[in-house]
Amino acid sequence: MSFLATFEKLSWDQTLASIAEKGATDVERALARPTGGVTLDDFQALISPAAVPYLEAMAQRSHQQTVERFGYTQQLFSPVYLSNVCSNVCTYCGFSALNRIPRKILSDEEIALELEAVKALGMDHVLFVTGEANRMVGVPYLKKAFKIARERFSSISMEVQPLDQADYEELMSAGLSAVLVYQETYHRDSYAEVHLRGMKKNFEYRLETPDRLGRAGMKKIGLGALYGLDDWRADSFFVAAHLRYMEKTYWRSRYSLSFPRIRPHEGDFSPKTVLTDRDLIQIICAYRLLSPEVELSLSTRESASFRNHAYKLGITTMSAGSKTNPGGYAAEKDSLKQFEISDERSPGELAAMLHQGGYEAVWKDWDASYDKVPEVMEAMA
């Protein structure tokens, strides 16, 4: 049993038709739901064209629900790219295997230097990112990196190739607490058009990755779509359906969503569709109304002015000072980046902006020492 069974019952075209049919009454019904009461049908209304005149009301409600659950805080993080080696060919990505670029896998010493540089930015947790190259940057390499990170950070997250459940369990024993894995697009044909070679061609294996994470008992699981590959409304709905399934099935895990829009990179790819700033605000608010608990993350792909405006409308997590190339914080200032970032402010500058807006920056996610609490309580009983 996995999300695949739910997914097979959903139709892309019927989803699009259903969203297009939504009217003002549907949007008002969705907005009148109590916190936590928004259905997937309501979600379709909230991302429909009919909801555009209600954006202000959605934004106010989203802000209020976010503050009720998360307070006036934003969690900051800086991704650490361990490698730009990739076995896959994805037409929209600078790390794609066919791109003739210098490749790099950080050594133990380079990882330590990189982590020291990120620690110096104020971070107390780390997100490791790699291309997808399981033979060269697989579980043994990741475990070595985690060992170096555990000496410096209170929690470790990763965004790497999808793995088997046993691999996730092994990495959790090595200190991993969160995994981000985006489906990119839930439209099978569009997925096949841009994922030409390598393990990532396997749509089903990727789609079932969150299930394997849930079964492994991962503390936090990140979902999302890459906007620009197909219709943003349909992809947003499929992410919402995936989230709802995961929250019900693996209710012990926490969840996060990201909304990456395709950015310029090495190579030449034109997005099939464009997600405007207004569309993105609509998606953020709709997700918040759907799920009061989900963490919503806004990356440095977005401009400083957009992030300054959007962070109060449902966002809980922001990347800051990101370098999207291996060794980018400590040494390799100019080596190839996965994509260009837009908001170049340092974490300190972002924290100061948040402080001015009445928000506090949070520099850690989970503390591995909390894992021992059940054992301690048991011993005390």
Q: Does 263 bind ligand SF4 (CB under 6 A)?
A: no
| Given 93, 246, 281, 318, the residue binding ligand SF4 (CB under 6 A) | 93
Token look-up 């190739």 returns: 161
Give me the sign of the Cα torsion angle 235, 237, 241, 243: positive
In this complex, which beta carbon is closest to ligand SF4, that of residue 202 or of residue 276? 202
Cα-based torsion angle of the residue sequence 358, 362, 366, 368 in order, rounded to the nearest 10 degrees: -140
In the complex, what is the shortest distance from the CB of residue 222 to ligand SF4, in angstroms, rounded to a whole number?
14
Q: Does 131 bind ligand SF4 (CB under 6 A)?
A: yes
The structure tokens listed for 315 are 């966002």
Q: Does 95 bind ligand SF4 (CB under 6 A)?
A: yes
Strand segments (E) across 200-274: 220-224, 254-258
Measured CA to CA, the distance from residue 342 to residue 302 in angstroms comes to 6
Contacts of 257 (CB under 8 A, 6+ apart): 222, 223, 224, 239, 243, 287, 294, 295, 296, 297
Query: How many residues interact with ligand SF4 (rule CB under 6 A)?
Result: 9
In the complex, what is the shortest distance from the CB of residue 312 to ligand SF4, in angstroms, rounded to a whole number?
31
Give the residue from 92, 98, 117, 167 showing the smallest Cα distance to 137. 167
Q: Considering only 50-58, 93-101, 231-239, 353-361, which stretch makes contact with ligand SF4 by CB under 6 A?
A: 93-101
In this complex, which beta carbon is closest to ligand SF4, that of residue 138 or of residue 348? 138
Measured CA to CA, the distance from residue 363 to residue 378 in angstroms comes to 30
| Given 96, 185, 300, 316, the residue binding ligand SF4 (CB under 6 A) | 96
The structure tokens listed for 251 are 């209710």
User: What are the Cα distances from residue 49, in Å, to 18, 212, 239?
Assistant: 12, 35, 18
Query: Which 3 state secondary structure label does DSSP give 54?
Result: helix
Give the residue from 97, 178, 106, 177 showing the smallest Cα distance to 145. 106
Q: Does 206 bind ligand SF4 (CB under 6 A)?
A: no
In the complex, what is the shortest distance from the CB of residue 262 to ligand SF4, in angstroms, rounded to a whole number?
11
Q: Considering only 87-95, 244-252, 298-306, 368-376, which stretch makes contact with ligand SF4 by CB under 6 A?
A: 87-95
8 A C-beta contact, residue 272 and residue 190: yes
| Given 19, 47, 51, 90, the residue binding ligand SF4 (CB under 6 A) | 90
In this complex, which beta carbon is closest to ligand SF4, that of residue 132 or of residue 295? 132
Give the x-and-dash track for 209-248 against ligand SF4 (CB under 6 A). Answer: ----------------------------------------
Q: Considering only 33-41, 82-90, 275-283, 342-350, which stretch makes contact with ligand SF4 by CB under 6 A?
A: 82-90
In the complex, what is the shortest distance from the CB of residue 325 to ligand SF4, in angstroms, rounded to a whole number?
12
Binding residues for ligand SF4 restricted to 182-201, rule: CB under 6 A: 200
8 A C-beta contact, residue 230 and residue 275: no
Measured CA to CA, the distance from residue 189 to residue 246 in angstroms comes to 24
Q: Considering only 18-26, 32-40, 60-68, 84-92, which stretch makes contact with ligand SF4 by CB under 6 A?
A: 84-92
In this complex, which beta carbon is closest to ligand SF4, that of residue 88 or of residue 209? 88
Give the residue from 231, 250, 248, 221 showing the smallest Cα distance to 186. 231
In this complex, which beta carbon is closest to ligand SF4, that of residue 307 or of residue 337? 337
Binding site for ligand SF4 (CB under 6 A): 86, 88, 90, 93, 95-96, 131-132, 200
